[in-house]
Amino acid sequence: MARVFNFGAGPAVLPEEVLHQAAAEMLDWHGSGMSVMEMSHRGDEFIAIAAEAEADLRELLAIPAHYKVLFLQGGATLQFAMVPMNLLDGKKCADYVNTGEWSKRAIKEAKAFCEVNVAASSEEAGFTYVPEQATWRLSGDAAYVHICSNETIGGVEFHWVPDTGEVPLVADMSSHILSRPIDVSRYGLIYAGAQKNIGPAGLAIVVVREDLLGRAPKGTASMLDYKVHADAQSMSNTPPTYAVYVAGLVLKWLKRQGGLAAMERKNVAKAGLLYEYLGDSTLFRSPVREADRSRMNVPFTLRDPSLDAPFLAGAEERGMVQLKGHRSVGGMRASIYNAMPIEGVQRLVEYMREFEARHG
Ligand SMILES: *Cc1c(COP(=O)(O)O)cnc(C)c1O
C-alpha cells in the first residue's frame, strides 16, 4: 500500500524511518523477547529507553542542567490547568496573550484558578497576527506570562521571544517544538503535547526550571504536582511507555537529520515554497500577517468557498489527505511538521498550481 502525504494537524505524520524501526522491533526489542509495550516501566530496559529519550531531548534543545524534563499524560490540555495549579505560588493573577484558539482554551482553563489578565489579543483581527510586545499590558504582579508560541489552528507563530523580566514566561509549544532551535533559558516552563511534532498521542512533555517546582498548594493531587513527577523521574505512576519509546525514536531521527538547526533550514524551505506560491496566487490566499506566519501550520483559503470540496477531492486523488481547515478559520490548512518531506509540499504546490490554472 502506498503511503499518503498526511497534512493533518495532529495526531500527525511520523517519519517513515521511525515507523519502520518500530515495526521491526515490535515483537522483540533488542533481543529482550518482548515488545516495548509489554515491558515493566521499572525494568532496566524501559528505564534505559526513557533515560535515552530524555538525554536526546536535552541535547537537541540544549536544555540547561537546572531544568527538569517531565514525561506526562493528559495532553497539552491538562497543562492548561497544571500551569496555574503549580505556578501561582500564592499570587492571584497571571498574564495571558491571546493569539488564537489554543490561547483561548488556556485562558478559559486558567480562570478556574486565578484572575487572568489578557495582556494583548489579536482576536479583533480574527487571530491573524502576534501583537508586538510594545502593545502588551502586563499586570506587574502576575505569577507568570503565558503564550501559545505557535497557534496550530490560526497558523500564527512567534518568531521572537517576549521579554518578561523576572516573571516566568510559559509557552505552549505543542505544534512547533523541535522545529527550530530555541533558547530554553528564556522560559520558566515549556510544554507540548507529543502528537504534533514529537511522537504518538498520549504523551506530553514539560520542561520546567527547577526553582518553579514545589509551589503547588497543599492538597494538590500528586498526579497534578510537577514536583512529584520530577522527583520520580516521571515514573510516579506508569508512564505512557510506548509513546515515550516512539518519541525516543523520533528524537534519534532528528539527530540523524543534523539536529534542530538543520530542521529549521528544511522547515524554512518547505514553508517558503508554500507561502511563496500563496503570495503569487490570485485563487488562494493566506490570512496571516506575513511576519507572523507559521512554518508548521499553513492555513489558506480559496477565493470561492464552493471550490473547497473539489479542491479537497482532487488532493485526495493525488494522495494528499487531511487538508481541510479548522471550522473556525475555514478553507484549508496544510500542517507541514518536521516529518513531512519536502516532496509532500512540492506535490501540494504543484497541485494548487494545476487547480488554479483550471479554476482561476
Ligand atoms: C493540539 C494542541 C493542544 C491540545 O493538545 P491535547 O494533547 O489534545 O490536549 C494544545 N495546544 C496546542 C498549541 C495544540 O496544537
CATH number of the domain residue 218 falls in: 3.40.640.10
User: For the chain, what is the mean pLDDT?
Assistant: 97
22 plus 123 within the same structural domain: yes
9 in any annotated domain: no
Same domain, 279 and 231: no
- Write down the pLDDT at residue 360: 78
Pocket probe for ligand 1: among 78, 157, 175, 203, the residue whose CB has the most ligand atoms within 8 Å is 175
**Looking at residue 346, what is its pLDDT?**
98
Residue 235 has pLDDT above 80, yes or no: yes
Q: Which of 56, 95, 172, 225 is catalytic?
A: 172
> Number of folded domains in the chain?
2
pLDDT value of residue 266? 98
Q: Which of 103, 174, 326, 329 to mutate to test the pocket of ligand 1 (most atoms within 8 A of CB)?
A: 174
75 C-alpha vs ligand 1 centroid, how far in Å?
A: 7
Q: Give 80 Cα–ligand 1 centroid separation in angstroms.
A: 10
Residue 8 lies in a domain: no
What confidence score (pLDDT) does residue 329 get?
Answer: 86
pLDDT above 90 (res 328):
no
- Residue 279's domain is classified under what CATH number? 3.90.1150.10
Among 232, 256, 280, the domain-final residue is 256
Q: Which of 29, 68, 95, 102 is catalytic?
A: 102
Residues 164 and 263 both lie in one domain: no
> Are 96 and 125 found together in one domain?
yes
Burial class from Cβ neighbours inside 10 Å (0-12, 13-18, 19+) for residue 25 reads: middle
How many CA atoms does the CB half-sphere of 88 hold within 13 Å? 22
113 and 95 assigned to the same domain: yes
Q: Are 101 and 95 in contact (CB under 8 A)?
A: no
Residues 268 and 198 in one domain: no
CA of 353 to the centre of ligand 1 (A): 32
Residue nearest to atom 8 of ligand 1 (CA): 75
My answer on whether 213 and 278 are in the same domain is no
208 and 274 housed in the same domain: no
Q: What is the pLDDT of residues 280-313, one digit of tens each?
A: 999 999 999 999 999 999 999 999 999 999 999 9
Q: How confident is the model at residue 1 (pLDDT cuts 50, 70, 90)?
A: low
Global confidence as pTM: 0.98
Residues 263 and 142 in one domain: no
Spatial strand order in the sheet of 67-72:
67-72, 204-209, 189-193, 169-172, 145-148, 93-98, 115-121
Q: Does residue 3 fall inside a structural domain?
A: no
Same domain assignment for residues 322 and 192? no
Quick check: is 5 in a domain? no
Ligand 1 atom closest to the CA of 80, numbered from 1: 10
Q: What pLDDT sits at residue 144?
A: 98
Q: Is 196 a catalytic residue?
A: yes
Q: Answer with the one of 239, 256, 273 that is the final residue of a domain.
A: 256
Is 172 annotated in the active site? yes
User: What is the extent of the structural domain holding 167?
Assistant: 17-256
Which residues line the pocket of ligand 1, CB cutoff 6 A? 10, 75-77, 102, 148, 152, 172, 174-175, 193, 196
95 shares its domain with 227: yes
What tens digit of pLDDT does each residue of 194-206 get?
Answer: 999 999 999 999 9
Residue 88 φ/ψ, nearest 5 degrees: -65, -40
Q: Are residues 144 and 275 in the same domain?
A: no
Quote the CA–CA distance of 331 and 287 in Å, as a whole number.
10
- Domain closes at, from 226, 256, 286: 256
Task: Work out the pLDDT band at 189, boundaries 50, 70, 90.
Answer: very high
102 part of the active site: yes
